[in-house]
Amino acid sequence: MQFPTTPTFDLTGKRALIAGASSGIGLAGAVALAERGADVVLAARRADRLADIVAEMTARGWSARAVTLDVTDIDATRAVVAAEGPFDILLNSAGLARHTKAVDTTPADFDAVMNINLRGAYFLTQAVAQGMIAAGKQGSLINISSQMGHVGGLDRAVYCASKFAVEGFTKAMALEFGPHKIRINTICPTFILTELTQPTFDDPEKRAWVLDKIKLGRAGEVQDLMGAVVYLASNASAMVTGTSMLIDGGWTAD
């Protein structure tokens, strides 16, 4: 009897660019990819922090290097991707949240969030895809979106708008990139305990609201996302594109 073979999660020989890699979800994703054998390029604005991370990763025998990158600088982003690529994998975890009531949103806050979460994500994804296509490489593009790209949230009109937009361009790009065998998907976490979300968890009322909405009864941790990163980056998800992986503890189930 001929049994099917489980697709590999091994990423040996693959090159991965991780934006927003200096902390939180991005750092966890970089570790997950490196553990599976990928050659990881960590990108963020905090050069000193990246240097420390790369030193620890290489000490463990992983292949890692760092580049300074601000995704809101489109020309610089294109230059970095051109110099370091072509890549097989993109994990974009660069993001920003400025939560206010919709009636209190300022143009400055709106622009700051959109410049990173939407404009930066779009053109970073474009740059990596261009490199893949030019090199004739198949690959996987992964943007860290949010459950808030699927539902509304208190004081999160701008953030939700940015993430709904990421979900939209992911679907459109999947149609365009599919013939090149390039896949693009999003990972949509619930509230994950990171530096970015700490102010929410420090507020008893907001913490209670979050935990009430998560059906599994706890906040997420970065480890909850690492398997999804590996899955979407690897051949195990070879038939997955144009979709989102919700890791939300059941938040969006009702």
186: helix, coil or strand?
Answer: strand
Q: Give 127's contacts (C-beta < 8 A, 6+ positions apart).
A: 77, 78, 81, 82
The reported pTM is 0.95
CB atoms inside a 10 Å sphere around CB 48 = 10
* DSSP-H helix ranges across the chain: 24-35, 47-59, 74-84, 107-114, 121-135, 157-177, 198-202, 204-213, 223-233
Cα–Cα distances in Å, from 124 out to 71, 75, 97, 219, 231?
Answer: 7, 10, 19, 29, 21
The answer to whether residue 231 is catalytic is no
Would you give per-residue pLDDT tens digits along the chain (254 residues)?
A: 999 999 999 999 999 999 999 999 999 999 999 999 999 999 999 989 999 999 999 999 999 999 999 999 999 999 999 999 999 999 999 988 888 999 999 999 999 999 999 999 999 999 999 999 999 999 999 999 999 999 998 889 999 999 999 999 999 999 999 999 999 999 999 999 887 788 888 888 888 989 999 999 999 999 999 999 999 999 999 999 999 999 999 999 98
Residue from 87, 122, 159, 177 carrying the catalytic annotation:
159
Q: Which domains does the chain have, with CATH numbers?
A: 15-193+221-248 (3.40.50.720)
**Of 223, 224, 231, which Cα lies nearest the Cα of 248?**
224
